Amino acid sequence: MKSRKLTATVALLGAVALGIGCVAGCAGRPAVAAPAAYSGPLAGTAAGSRPAGTGSASRPAAGATGSARRHASWPARTVVRENQRELLANQVVDLQAGALYALVPQRTDPERGPYLLSRTELASGSVRSGPAFAGGGIAIASGSLWVFGAASQPGSKSSPLVVREVSPQTMAVVRSVALPPPGPVSYVSVAGGPGDSVWIGDSRAAWRVSAATGAVLAKVTLAARFAIRDVAVDPAGRHLYVSAFNARPQGGPGAVFEFDARSGLRLARAAHGPVTFALSGAALTATPPGVWASYRTGMLGATILLRRRGLVTILPPGYGQPPTSRLGDVYDWPMDATTVYGGGALWLANEAGVMACASPRTGGVRARRRTRQGSLLGDDLLAADQPAHLVYDLGTTGLIAITPPAACWR
């Protein structure tokens, strides 16, 4: 789970500071070109775009219609109840350990540290506290927790970016990885790499770092006009995807890059496509067929697929068509959305109250639900647990375990 809550705020503040405001997509549909007018490789344009008592999955009755299957029941229950301060924390679910980790802000302003690390057992609800950190960003990758600033704060040209590797079992710091000082506009993102390694992106570079030694194994560097928004690696550990936005000025056309995840060799670049404007680059979710990119295009947003080995754009079914609700739909959404991959499905949730599972290859929706006002569910997906047939989401009461229809899983 990337540190979406903090970075979304920083991105918006950065856009206001640079005088961008709501340039496109603020009063109507997302700023996208008509799908019929586009037929080439994409371009990650622009700039904006992480138990006990499991229930049985709902299986449609024989002969159920496609509509009934899509709108089947999604039972949900609160697994970890959280207070208001905990709800503001960046959090990750470690499915292997069966635990929820959170960096809880200790001040009224959640953008400022310190942040206290905690571990909550999903089965028993028992809580252990760990050390406090200055940064509020957290990721789980290559068997370790990684703690960092959600957005790096460039103080002086000699101040390095420090990312800390933390043991999930003891919550003690294993090592601190010092990387070159960040640039004037930057985010920090972490993704699991091939073997025992992670990729760390910041400013206009990404480093492959050994989780065993902290040594830098490979590096990729983008052109000076770019700043990295997100990094993601496919489940096989072969393809590294990097989304970037134009830092000068922020809000111009950006790009998505594809690299060899082991060596850092560049394989493809997509710089023109159906998204014509966005804020702060695309949030990425890597899947076997390619990478799903979610762009915030002002007050609205859009999610599309870039096929691996070339980053050709695949527009999901219904993309660009009038939404089924004035608030949006699966791939066109207001304000914010998250995606995760697991159990052979792409999972999506957004602020329109839509939650869906879809084919990661085509975007075809297998099942969906629209939450009612007052629902427990939120739009912050953390993980999909295939053996338990559960999806974890941060909702209004804390961590929610959702049982999607059986049609979702593969």
What's the mean pLDDT when you consider all of the chain?
A: 78
The lowest-confidence range among 10-24, 227-241, 264-278 is: 10-24
Share of the chain above pLDDT 90, in %: 53
**Residue 274's pLDDT band (boundaries 50, 70, 90)?**
low
Q: Are 222 and 257 in contact (CB under 8 A)?
A: yes
Question: CB of 370 within 8 A of CB of 354?
Answer: yes
Element housing 14 (H / E) = helix 4-17
- pLDDT tens readout for residues 324-335: 544 458 888 887
Cα–Cα distance measured from residue 221 to residue 51, given in angstroms and rounded to the nearest whole number: 41
Length of the chain: 410
Could you read off the pLDDT of 176-200 as tens digits, one per residue? 999 887 776 668 999 999 999 999 9
What span, in angstroms and rounded, lies between the C-alpha atoms of 178 and 214?
9
Greatest mean pLDDT among 1-10, 51-60, 70-79 lies in: 70-79
How confident is the model over 204-225, as a mean pLDDT? 95
Residues 6+ apart with CB under 8 A from 108: none
pLDDT of amino acid 205: 94
Is the distance from CB of 312 to CB of 306 less than 8 angstroms? yes
CATH topology of domain 4-55+92-335: Lipocalin (2.40.128)
Q: Is the distance from CB of 318 to CB of 273 less than 8 angstroms?
A: no
Determine the pLDDT at residue 98. 96
Q: Cα separation of 138 and 89, whole Å?
A: 10
Checking if the pLDDT of 379 tops 60, the result is yes
Q: What is the layout of strands, in order, in the sheet containing 365-370?
A: 337-342, 345-350, 354-358, 365-370
Q: How confident is the model at residue 276 (pLDDT cuts 50, 70, 90)?
A: low
The answer for residues whose C-beta is within 8 angstroms of residue 40's C-beta and 6 or more apart is 272, 273, 312, 313
Q: Is 392 exposed, middle or buried (0-12, 13-18, 19+ CB in 10 A)?
A: buried
For residues 389 and 403, the answer to whether their CB atoms sit within 8 Å is yes
Segment 103-117, tens digit of pLDDT: 999 988 888 889 999
Place of tokens 């760390």: 200
Sign of torsion, CA 244 392 352 274? positive
Highest-scoring range by mean pLDDT, 155-159, 296-300, 391-395: 391-395
Residue 376 confidence (pLDDT):
66
* Least confidently predicted of 48-57, 64-73, 107-116, 291-300: 48-57
Q: Residue 277's pLDDT is what?
A: 65
Contacts of 309 (CB under 8 A, 6+ apart): 258, 267, 268
Angle at 254 between CA 178 and CA 361, to 5 degrees: 95
Q: pLDDT tens digits for 30-41?
A: 343 333 222 223
d(CA 27, CA 116): 39
Give me the pLDDT at residue 160, please.
82
Tokens of 194: 């091939």
